[in-house]
Amino acid sequence: MLFHTWLFALFFCIVYPVYVLTRGTWFEKPWLLLASYIFYASWNPVFLVLIIYSTVVDYAVVWRMEVSPRRGLWLALGVGNHIFLLGFFKYGGFIVENFNALFARLGLGWEIPDPNGVLSYVNFVSERINHLLAAIGIPYHLAPQTTLLIVGISFYTFQSMSYIIDCYRGIARREKQFLVYAAYVCFFPQLVAGPIERSSNLLRQLGSRRTITGEDIGDGLSLFLVGLFKKVAMADFLALYVDKVYGSPAQFGAPALILATVAFGWQVYFDFAGYTDMARGIARLMGIRLVLNFNNPYLATGFGDFWRRWHISLSSWFRDYIYIPLGGNRRGEVLTHVNMAATMVISGLWHGASWTFVIWGALHAAYRVLTRNLEATAFYRERLPDGVKRAFVFACVTFAWIFFRARSLDDAWLIVRRIFTGGWTDPRCPIVIFGLVAAVWLYQHLYESDARAWLRPAPVRVAIVVFMAVCTFMCAQSGGQPFIYFQF
């Protein structure tokens, strides 16, 4: 159930009035939980088993952690459970494939069974559900699952782990009401693609009585429209060109491959930031404030700055639960760089079980390590124009996107090779979409400059909203295109 479909509109039109009317009553939490579970089940009801299991285990683990003297054991159990779930459902195929390839190369004759074998059980259950739905006349058909990767698993496991670790550290208090905790794990606006919320923000709000003000409604609508524009008018538009070029990179010359890579950089930003904005808008309409996840990342003047602006909830998660526990920058220059690199590589792997993501993470690690000292110099901070720094960061980040987007490592190398050797042919890149991207980029520049005051008058903001709405209506393609980050 994608936010930009009529199905979601219908779902929200049912959920929202009941939510508003029952706020503060005993029915609020069960209703929110039911809505969230229905939302999640719209992908595949079988997956509900996993999220409910995860919620129950975490609730029990934190409860035991509070009363048991062996708190570390319970922490290990809780975190280990999530790592196992991620390892099996997200990385199982990748790990097994690589080990089997290694065994074959060593001539050991061993073979680990493919975890995707579990799919036959999942599809068996899905088929039974289909029969049941057909028998009661519901025209809904669950498509067979082709991959073990469960939608949203990377997001809700990380959110749950942060809660367990924060409780262990004494930063967060145990949520005693199971329904409140369950609603925190699967709060539908941010369930499948974040932002990854800490208990100090979302759980606190869910556990307390909320009012929905006029400001919430206005902000919620604003955020939702901005997100819808980013997704429907920008990301899906850019995707057409990116898919065309990346679908058969051998047929395109250097200009097309460069432009498609730049286009993908913007596509992935608009797609993910668009989802986040819509999620934040929906939550805000419900009186709940989710964290800011993207802050104009392509205006970053350094790689540290980039990661403070890109997928903020994930990068802060890695900072708090990987980088700092590894020692952060407290153990000397070399170890700081090692910690930084390790965190970036793990961050790359978080995005997907593939060597292309590992290389993407490694490239960012290299950028960060190589420029950390440079960024600290007075020359870089004061003498180098921001435009040059932004262009440099953008170029490096864009280069890394090649590995993120390519279908395989072979394709990625082919694209890199052809960018330098592929010849200068007509890229046939639509000027309209690059005009729109340029308009957004200019807006972001103005927003972060002294000219921000120009964007503030009400007529300007209303005009921008109307323009975005018209663009969204006119550019909408038939059927909602899925979000890129759903695959993570």
Rounded to the nearest whole angstrom, what is the least distance from the CB of residue 187 to another protein in the complex? Answer: 14
Answer for which of 123, 130, 201, 398 binds another protein (CB under 8 A) is 201
Answer for which of 17, 218, 332, 387 binds another protein (CB under 8 A) is 218
**Residue 338: what residue type?**
V
Rounded to the nearest whole angstrom, what is the least distance from the CB of residue 404 to another protein in the complex? Answer: 22
Q: Is 131 a catalytic residue?
A: no
User: Rule CB under 8 A: is residue 388 a binding residue for another protein?
Assistant: no
User: Rule CB under 8 A: is residue 455 a binding residue for another protein?
Assistant: yes
Answer for which of 240, 322, 338, 369 binds another protein (CB under 8 A) is 240
User: Rule CB under 8 A: is residue 129 a binding residue for another protein?
Assistant: no
Q: Which stretch binds another protein (CB under 8 A): 56-64, 83-91, 146-154, 455-463?
A: 455-463
Answer for which of 222, 322, 369, 409 binds another protein (CB under 8 A) is 222
User: Rule CB under 8 A: is residue 217 a binding residue for another protein?
Assistant: yes
User: Rule CB under 8 A: is residue 118 a binding residue for another protein?
Assistant: no
The 10 Å CB-count burial string (b at 16+, else e) for 282-317 is bbbbbbbbbbebbebbbbbbbbbbbbebbbbbbbbb
Q: What are phi and psi of 213, to 5 degrees?
A: -95, 170
User: Rule CB under 8 A: is residue 416 a binding residue for another protein?
Assistant: no
Considering beta carbons, is residue 56 or 432 the nearer one to another protein? 432
- Residue 154: name the closest of 322, 353, 316 by CA: 353
Cβ-based neighbours of 369, under 8 Å, separated by 6 or more: 337, 340, 341
- From residue 298 to residue 337, what is the string marking binding to another protein with x (rule CB under 8 A)? ---------------x--x---x-----------------
Dihedral of the CA atoms 222, 227, 228, 232 (nearest 10)? 150
Considering beta carbons, is residue 108 or 470 the nearer one to another protein? 470
- Residue 483: name the closest of 312, 155, 236, 223 by CA: 236
User: Rule CB under 8 A: is residue 241 a binding residue for another protein?
Assistant: yes
Answer for which of 52, 444, 445, 486 binds another protein (CB under 8 A) is 444
Cβ-based neighbours of 196, under 8 Å, separated by 6 or more: 155, 158, 159, 162, 190, 313, 314, 317
Question: Over 161-186, what HEC string results?
Answer: HHHHHHHHHCCCCCCCCHHHHHHHHC
User: Rule CB under 8 A: is residue 450 a binding residue for another protein?
Assistant: no
Binding to another protein (CB under 8 A): which residues in 69-108? none
Look at residue 142 and give its three-state secondary structure: coil
Strands (E), 384-447: none
User: Rule CB under 8 A: is residue 136 a binding residue for another protein?
Assistant: no
User: Rule CB under 8 A: is residue 341 a binding residue for another protein?
Assistant: no
Site size with another protein, rule: CB under 8 A = 74
Rounded to the nearest whole angstrom, what is the least distance from the CB of residue 343 to another protein in the complex? Answer: 16
**Residue 410: what residue type?**
D
Give CA separation, 247 vs 147, 163, 260, 272, in Å: 21, 40, 11, 21
User: Rule CB under 8 A: is residue 237 a binding residue for another protein?
Assistant: yes
Considering beta carbons, is residue 181 or 310 the nearer one to another protein? 310
Q: Which stretch binds another protein (CB under 8 A): 94-102, 112-120, 402-410, 427-435?
A: 427-435
Q: What are phi and psi of 56, to 5 degrees?
A: -65, -45
Rounded to the nearest whole angstrom, what is the least distance from the CB of residue 168 to another protein in the complex? Answer: 14
Rounded to the nearest whole angstrom, what is the least distance from the CB of residue 294 to another protein in the complex? Answer: 6
Rounded to the nearest whole angstrom, what is the least distance from the CB of residue 365 to another protein in the complex? Answer: 23
User: Rule CB under 8 A: is residue 292 a binding residue for another protein?
Assistant: yes
Question: Structure tokens of 175?
Answer: 């949520």
Question: Structure tokens of 464?
Answer: 């921008």
User: Rule CB under 8 A: is residue 41 a binding residue for another protein?
Assistant: no
> Exposed, middle or buried by CB within 10 Å (0-12, 13-18, 19+), for 447?
middle
Answer for which of 66, 114, 219, 305 binds another protein (CB under 8 A) is 219
Cβ-based neighbours of 311, under 8 Å, separated by 6 or more: 194, 272, 293, 294
Tally of CB atoms within 10 A around 26: 9
Q: Which residue has the tokens 């065309």?
A: 244
Rounded to the nearest whole angstrom, what is the least distance from the CB of residue 186 to another protein in the complex? Answer: 18
Catalytic residues: 351
